[in-house]
């Protein structure tokens, strides 16, 4: 008997990005190196941000996103955000949970421009 082509989503999803990325994927090794380097920069990042105001996108997430853009030759921030919206591997590498909203293109551009000064 042929099954139906129904499309249904569960009320809750218990799938994590971590579980979906193969143990031998090259980005796992790269992420470990990147996380170690970013951990060493954490105090420097803290000094660049005000203690008051609205929280920003963590610089660690932005840097991981820009690494993906370079690794996968993604031509624009808009295409990068599109990939991060539905690509589980990208979400895992950057550190976005399944239910987190993707980073904002305008915010990324603004921060990248101010960091270049």
Q: Are 56 and 49 in contact (CB under 8 A)?
A: yes
pLDDT digits (tens, 9 = 90+) for 3-59: 556 555 555 667 788 888 999 999 999 999 999 998 888 878 777 777 777 767 788
Q: How many CB atoms lie within 10 A of CB 89?
A: 17
Question: Which of 105, 98, 28, 10 lies closest to 65 in space, CA to CA?
Answer: 105
Segment 78-103 mean pLDDT: 87
Q: Are 16 and 22 in contact (CB under 8 A)?
A: no
Strand residue runs (E) in the chain: none
Question: CA 56, CA 111: separation in Å to the nearest integer?
Answer: 10
Q: How many CB atoms lie within 10 A of CB 23?
A: 5
Boundaries of every domain in the chain: 22-50+57-116
What is the pTM (predicted TM-score) of this model?
Answer: 0.74
The tokens for 18 are 């971590």
Question: CA 27, CA 76: separation in Å to the nearest integer?
Answer: 21
Question: CA 22, CA 24: separation in Å to the nearest integer?
Answer: 5
pLDDT recorded at residue 69: 96
């Amino acid at each position: 008997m042929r099954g139906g082509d129904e499309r249904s989503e569960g009320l809750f999803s218990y799938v994590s990005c971590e579980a979906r990325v193969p143990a031998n994927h090259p980005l796992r090794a790269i992420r470990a190196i990147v996380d170690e380097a970013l951990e060493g920069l954490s105090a420097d990042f803290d000094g660049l941000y005000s203690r008051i105001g609205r929280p920003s996108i963590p610089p660690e997430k932005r840097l991981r996103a820009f690494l993906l853009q370079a690794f996968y030759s993604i031509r624009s921030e808009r295409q990068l955000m599109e990939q991060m919206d539905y690509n589980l591997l990208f979400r895992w590498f950057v550190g976005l949970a399944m239910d987190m909203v993707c980073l904002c293109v305008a915010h990324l551009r603004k921060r990248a421009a101010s960091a270049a000064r």
